[in-house]
Amino acid sequence: MDAMDVDAALFDVFGTMTDWRSSVSAELAVVGARTGLTADWAAVTDDWRRLYRPYLGKVVTGAMPWRSLDDLHRLMLDEVLPQHGLGALGEAERVDLVGAWHRLRAWPDAAPGLEILHYSRLITGTLSNGGVGLLARLTKHAGLRFDCVLSAELAKSYKTDPQVYLTAAGLLALEPHRILMVACHPDDLEAAARVGFRTAYIPRPLEWGPDAPPVKAPAGVDLVAEDVPALARVLGV
Amino acid sequence: MDAMDVDAALFDVFGTMTDWRSSVSAELAVVGARTGLTADWAAVTDDWRRLYRPYLGKVVTGAMPWRSLDDLHRLMLDEVLPQHGLGALGEAERVDLVGAWHRLRAWPDAAPGLEILHYSRLITGTLSNGGVGLLARLTKHAGLRFDCVLSAELAKSYKTDPQVYLTAAGLLALEPHRILMVACHPDDLEAAARVGFRTAYIPRPLEWGPDAPPVKAPAGVDLVAEDVPALARVLGV
């Protein structure tokens, strides 16, 4: 592809721009210390996150009516806690922990990379399963500067539903091929490509922690970059 | 009101944060110079803007199906140009001029005021009749940093339809009384207040140019501030 032949770059957020695992584990550990409960907090986090795709998938297939990601995170949490002997955790703690997903830390390259892109001619945005409010809070908390916050919520669905990508393109008044989807998840990029988006893969080998098996780079993407500043360089901005 | 008792501040954009009149007049003058046409460009701009409320009102009342503000700006422009002897202006120029609303200059205090608010705990956002794409381009062009871009487009209507304000509150997952609407237009603030928003009035005496009659400050707003940094001070951030 012509390196600069897009008008917008839309970014996945959970995993691609933020380190959900260490952030949520740390908040779980704080709640544990406060309540006197102990567990393998990284394992709780991983199990919580493993329910993500099954739950969102129910919404995409229509098996469950649309609910906000906060609501779904709560349902997943209620399912995971007893599996780790944490069923005694109270209502206030559960509400607090759902909010942990609003307070994720960015990967160190993400904020400086977005600043570079902000000062280019490209429109930058999120395209995340997080809701608009969650994303506004998260990007502000994490220091991630985007020109706009786009969410699967605006299509009342979740990725990888094609309507999520097409709704974003419609709101930006851009043809899909003028938009670059940036993610560390092959299924997100494949779904974006199916509706005509260009795609960039950024590997995040630490997404599932240092002991996770290596992720294979997806075939068929337009660009691969090691991090966000490298993406800006490849895009020629 | 308790000065800090809100979680988000949403801003009107055309007039409140940007000087549409001098910006659009300047672009009209450039197109005139390029095409050899002459007119009172400020008067053309004012007449173009005077059609704004009647056209948007047709959408709000249901007399016209929803169309993007770009499309409505084009219909208004096509109506105004012949009134000023500019009917000969071609298609490319008309498309360019509709885009002038994506390239408005900010009032000098707007960008520094938004930076102050960005580093507060308040979520900042647009709440404008401009579309999401228009607003992403405009805020980037004008250097206006918002935490999120919210638009009447997301309610498929226009201000002062209550659904516009309620849709924004729903997307932010906030009760209306936790949101401050900031505008220089009394009708915008009155509509926001009717659905429970708090309201802040910022006068923009130059919105319609130096010879326009003074605008009377609306009664019943929660705050009045002379500009955006003053608003930040009043909010205690």
Which long-range contacts does B219-223 make (Cβ < 8 Å, 24+ apart)?
B220/B190, B220/B193, B221/B189, B221/B193, B222/B1, B222/B180, B222/B198, B223/B1, B223/B180, B223/B198, B223/B199
Q: Which residues of A touch B155 (CB under 8 A)?
A: none
Which residues span the domain enclosing A56? 20-102
- B170 and B194 both lie in a single domain: yes
Residue A2 belongs to a domain: no
Query: Given an 8 Å threshold on Cβ–Cβ distance, is A137 in contact with B123?
Result: yes
Which pLDDT band, with edges at 50, 70 and 90, does A219 fall under? confident
- B16 closest CA partner among B134, B121, B113: B113
Give pLDDT, residue A130.
98
- B91 and B136 both lie in a single domain: no
Q: Which residue has the tokens 């930058």?
A: A124
The domain boundary residue, chosen from B79, B102, B125 = B102
- B131 and B210 both lie in a single domain: yes
Burial B104-126 (b: 16+ CB within 10 A, else e): bebbebbbebbbbbbeeebbbbb
How confident is the prediction for chain B on average, in pLDDT?
A: 96
- B130 and B191 both lie in a single domain: yes
- A12 and A60 both lie in a single domain: no
Query: Given an 8 Å threshold on Cβ–Cβ distance, is B140 in contact with A118?
Result: yes
Give pLDDT, residue A1.
45
Q: Express each pLDDT in B51-69 by its tens digit.
A: 999 999 999 999 999 999 9
Angle at A96 between CA A93 and CA A100, to 5 degrees: 130
Residue A84 belongs to a domain: yes
- Helix, strand, coil proportions of chain A in percent (round to 5)? 50, 10, 40
CA distance to partner chain B, nearest, from residue A153 (Å): 8
ipTM: 0.95
Angle at A69 between CA A133 and CA A152, to 5 degrees: 75
Among B70, B132, B150, whose Cβ lies nearest the Cβ of A172? Answer: B132
Q: Which residues of A touch B172 (CB under 8 A)?
A: 132-133, 136
Q: Is B34 on the interface with A (CB under 8 A)?
A: no
Q: Is B154 on the interface with A (CB under 8 A)?
A: yes
- A115 and A191 both lie in a single domain: yes
Q: Which residues of B touch A154 (CB under 8 A)?
A: 154
Give pLDDT, residue B7.
97
Q: Express each pLDDT in A149-201 by its tens digit.
A: 999 999 999 999 999 999 999 999 999 999 999 999 999 999 999 999 999 99
- B115 and B229 both lie in a single domain: yes
Cβ contact A157:A66 at 8 Å = yes
The domain boundary residue, chosen from A102, A127, A150 = A102
Percent of chain B with pLDDT over 70: 98
Query: Which residue in chain B is spatially nearest to A124 when comparing CA positions?
Result: B136
Q: Which residue stretches of chain B have pLDDT < 50?
A: 1-2
Which pLDDT band, with edges at 50, 70 and 90, does A86 fall under? very high
Query: Given an 8 Å threshold on Cβ–Cβ distance, is B136 in contact with A147?
Result: yes
Among A140, A149, A171, whose Cβ lies nearest the Cβ of B133? Answer: A171
Query: Given an 8 Å threshold on Cβ–Cβ distance, is B148 in contact with A147?
Result: no
- CATH, residue A132: 3.40.50.1000
d(CA B132, CA B129): 9
d(CA A220, CA A186): 10
d(CA B61, CA B76): 18
Give pLDDT, residue B1.
45
Residue B55 belongs to a domain: yes
Which pLDDT band, with edges at 50, 70 and 90, does A208 fall under? very high
- A178 and A66 both lie in a single domain: no
A/B interface, count of CB pairs below 8 Å: 60
Give pLDDT, residue B216.
85
Among B123, B131, B173, whose Cβ lies nearest the Cβ of A140? Answer: B123
For chain B, the C-alpha Rg in angstroms (whole number) is 18
- B130 and B213 both lie in a single domain: yes
Give pLDDT, residue B237.
87
